[in-house]
Chains A and B, each alone.
Chain A
Amino acid sequence: MRYMMLIHNDDEAYATAPQEVYAEWAAFNEALNKADAVPGLRLKEASAATTVRSRNGKTDVLDGPYIEAREQLAGYFIIDVPSLDEAIAWAQRCPSVKYGSIEIRPIVDPHS
Chain B
Amino acid sequence: MGGVTSAAHPVKRGNEASRAAERVARESYGRLVAFLAARTRDVAGAEDALAEAFAAALKSWPADGVPANPDAWLLTVARRRQADAARRRQTRQAGEEHLKMMADEMEEAAGSAGDIPDRRLALMFACAHPAIEKGMRTPLILQAILGLTAQDIAAAFLIPPATMGQRLVRAKSRLKDAGIPFAIPDSDQLTERLDAVLDAIYAAYTKGWAELGEPGAPQLAEEAIWLGRLIVSLLPAEPEAKGMLALMLYAEARRAARRGPDGAYVPLDEQDRDLWDETLMDAAEALLRQANAGGPSGRFQIEAAIQSAHVARLKTGANTWPAILALYDHLLALTQSPVVALNRAAAQGEIEGPIPALAAISPLEGDKRMAGYQPYWALKGHLLRRAGNTAEAHEALTIAMGLSTDAAVRRYLQDQLKSLPSN
Task: Report A's interface with B, CB cutoff 8 A.
Answer: 20, 23-24, 26-32, 34-36, 84-86, 88-89, 92-93
Contacts and interface: CB of A to CB of B under 8 A. Distances in A.
Contact of B403 (A20, A23, A31, A88): A31
Interface in B158-189: 158-159, 163
17 contacts: A23-B401, A23-B414, A23-B417, A24-B401, A24-B402, A26-B402, A27-B399, A27-B401, A28-B402, A30-B398, A31-B372, A31-B402, A35-B371, A35-B372, A36-B371, A85-B135, A93-B402
B191 interface: no
Interface in B127-163: 135, 158-159, 163
Interface residues of B, number: 20
B159 A24 contact: no
A83 to B, nearest CB: 9
A36 to B, nearest CB: 7
Given A26-B398, A34-B399, A35-B371, A85 B159 contact: yes
B317 to A, nearest CB: 36
Contacts, number: 54
A93 B158 CA distance: 13
Interface of B: 135, 158-159, 163, 371-372, 377, 395, 398-399, 401-405, 410-411, 413-414, 417
A10 B411 CA distance: 23
B371 A93 contact: no
B410 A24 contact: yes
Given A23-B401, A31-B401, 9 more contacts: A26-B402, A27-B410, A27-B413, A28-B402, A30-B395, A31-B399, A34-B372, A36-B371, A85-B135
A26 B394 CA distance: 12
Contacts of A30: 395, 398-399, 402
Contacts of A29: 402
B159 to A, nearest CB: 7
Given A85-B159, A92-B405, A93-B403, A20 B414 contact: yes
A66 B398 CA distance: 36
Contacts of A28: 402
A85 B158 contact: yes
A89 to B, nearest CB: 7
Contacts of A35: 371-372
B399 A93 contact: no
A84 B159 CA distance: 9
Contacts of B399: 27, 30-31, 34
Nearest to A23: B414
A85 B135 CA distance: 11
| A24, A26, A30 — most chain B CB neighbours (10 Å) | A30
